[in-house]
Amino acid sequence: MVADNRGGAGGNIGTDIVAKAAPDGYTIVMCTVSLAVSPTLYKKLNYDPLKDLAPIGMVAASPNTLAVHPSTPARTVKELVTLARAQQGRVSFGTGGPGSLNDLISQVFRSISNGKSLVVPYKGINPATIAMLSGEVDAAVISVASAAQYVNAGKLRALATLAPDRSTLLPKVPTSKEAGYPELEAVLWYGMLAPAGTPPAVITRLNQAFTRISASADTRERFAGVGTLPMSSTPEQFAEFLKKEIARWGKVVRDSGASAE
């Protein structure tokens, strides 16, 4: 397997190349949740994720954490919501820019707080994290792996893990559902897709290979070190999941008014 990194446009450049590639199983793409965001976020998309790509299966998921600077009075999500509702712009969220997953979850929080929280976009989640560490903004949604190092050092406070289950890296931190806000759940998932028209037998063979890799002890050990969870699914399960994700994030994008060229 040869990795051909084609960055840019939220992953759309690389995805478009695969969507137009020969459907022989030799050109595939690893996509993230941005695949579900792009159809609504971008005014013009050169491919249709549901028509031009054939799902192979999910391979991994990386949970996110809602964290705040220690100077922020809130110690729970509910307290942060109350704090935000008390005064316009009282609670500020740093994000990686319009359309990023952390930005969309910040928009969901803004809706929960009746539009009272302030969303501050940065050029990437790393600058946003630095801004939170310095107290420039109150909060941000960052990966569990990134949050754990700062929480353990006392530089940040984690309010919730935005995933179905608690993270082994932050076992004492409740999930967003346990905190009372299941709508804040935001897992950065990874999945494999091939060009539409790829023979079912080829899709099945690729799915079996990735399922085997995800289940291996070596993969699980490597993933655990960075707070990532191995996953597997059938092509049909991934296809259904993708439809739901496109519907979910499409609504959030439309409600927020975010757009990209």
Per-residue pLDDT of the chain in tens (261 residues, 90 and over written 9):
889 988 777 788 999 999 999 999 999 999 999 999 999 999 889 999 999 999 999 999 999 999 999 999 999 999 999 999 998 888 999 999 888 899 999 999 999 999 899 999 999 999 999 999 999 999 999 999 999 999 999 999 999 999 999 998 999 999 999 999 999 998 999 999 999 999 999 999 999 999 999 999 999 999 888 888 999 999 999 999 999 999 999 999 998 888 886
The whole-number pLDDT of residue 78 equals 97
The whole-number pLDDT of residue 31 equals 95
Q: How many residues does the chain have?
A: 261
d(CA 8, CA 166): 32
> CA end-to-end span of the chain, whole Å?
32
d(CA 171, CA 51): 40
Buried b (16+ CB within 10 A) or exposed e, 209-243: ebbeebeeeebeeebeeebbbbbbbbbeebbebbe
* C-alpha distance from residue 222 to each of 60, 228, 229 (Å): 12, 9, 10
Tokens of 212: 């085997």
Say which residue the tokens 């954490």 belong to: 65
d(CA 84, CA 106): 12
β-strand partners of 188: 62
Q: Which helix (H) or strand (E) holds 246?
A: helix 235-256
d(CA 122, CA 132): 11
β-strand partners of 158: 67
d(CA 44, CA 211): 34
Which DSSP symbol is given to 9?
A: G
d(CA 122, CA 222): 30
